[in-house]
Amino acid sequence: MTDLDDWVAHVAAELGVDATMDVDAVLDLAGAAARAVVRPAAPLTTFLAGLAAGRAGGSPDDIRDAIARTTALCEAD
């Protein structure tokens, strides 16, 4: 486990949420948003994808779907 994995697990536990996610996919989404729009779009885009995933139910499939849909939006621009 990396320090980043430890950090995600710690924050998730403190927030009382399940941290079942592909950290690399979230980071890839942030990178795609930073390249497609501007750097500050990275955290905003990942937040919106997380919000969408949570509203959809928050399952690992919901998270993957939200990341894939948002990444596609970044790549379309």
- pLDDT tens-digit series, residues 39-60: 999 999 999 999 999 999 999 8
Report CA Rg, the chain: 12
Average pLDDT over residues 17-32: 90
**Which residue range(s) make up the domain with 35?**
21-76
Give the Cβ contact number of residue 17 at 10 Å. 13
pTM: 0.87
Q: Kindly tell me if the per-residue pLDDT of 21 is higher than 60.
A: yes
Provide the terminal-to-terminal Cα distance of the chain, rounded to the nearest Å: 35
Domain assignment present for 11:
no
Cβ–Cβ < 8 Å for 31, 73? no
Q: What is the DSSP letter of 37?
A: S
Domain assignment present for 9:
no
Domain assignment present for 66:
yes
Domain assignment present for 56:
yes
Q: Phi, psi (5° rounding) for residue 51?
A: -65, -45
Looking at the structure of the chain, the number of domains it has is 1
Domain assignment present for 71:
yes
